[in-house]
Amino acid sequence: MFVEQLINGLAIGTIYALVAVGYSLVFGILRLVNFTHSSVYTLGAFMVYVGVEYLHLNIFLAILFSLVTTGFAGVMIDKMGLEPLRKKGASKISAMITTIGLSYIIINCLNIAFGSQIIRFPDLFNYGTFKLLGATIAWQQVIIGAVALILLVALSIFINRTRIGLAMRAVQQEPSAAAINGINVNMIISLTFFLGAASAAIAGTLIASYNQYLRSSMGDIVGLKAFAAAVLGGIGSLPGSVLGGLIIGVSESMAVYKLGGSYIDMVAFSLLFLVLLIRPYGILGRKGSTKV
Which is closer to another protein, CB of 61 or CB of 264?
A: 264
Which of 73, 195, 222, 243 lies at the binding interface for another protein (CB under 8 A)?
A: 222
Q: Is 92 in the site for another protein (CB under 8 A)?
A: no
Q: CA dihedral in degrees (104, 82, 14, 211; nearest 10)?
A: 30
Q: Is 156 in the site for another protein (CB under 8 A)?
A: no
State the first-to-last Cα distance of the chain, in angstroms, to the nearest integer: 38
Determine, following the binding rule CB under 8 A, whether residue 162 of this chain makes contact with another protein: no
Of these, 54, 87, 88, 93, which contacts another protein (CB under 8 A)?
93
Residue 120, beta-bridge partner list: 213
- Under rule CB under 8 A, residue 213 binds another protein: yes
Cα–Cα distance, 41 to 54 (Å, whole number): 20
In the complex, the smallest distance separating the C-beta of residue 103 from another protein, rounded to whole angstroms, is 13
Size of the site for another protein (CB under 8 A): 63
Tell me the residue length of the chain: 292
- Does the CA dihedral 176-181-185-188 come out positive or negative? negative
Distances (CA, A) of 143 to 31, 69, 108, 138: 33, 24, 32, 9
β-pairing, 213-214 vs 119-120, is: antiparallel
Rg (CA), the chain: 19
Of 80-88, 227-235, 250-258, 277-285: span binding another protein (CB under 8 A):
250-258
Q: Is 115 in the site for another protein (CB under 8 A)?
A: yes
Note the residues at the interface with another protein (CB under 8 A). 1, 4-5, 8-9, 11-12, 91, 93-94, 97, 111, 115-120, 126, 128-129, 135-136, 138, 140-141, 163, 166-167, 169-170, 173-174, 176-185, 210-213, 215, 217-218, 220-222, 252-253, 256-257, 260-262, 264-265, 289
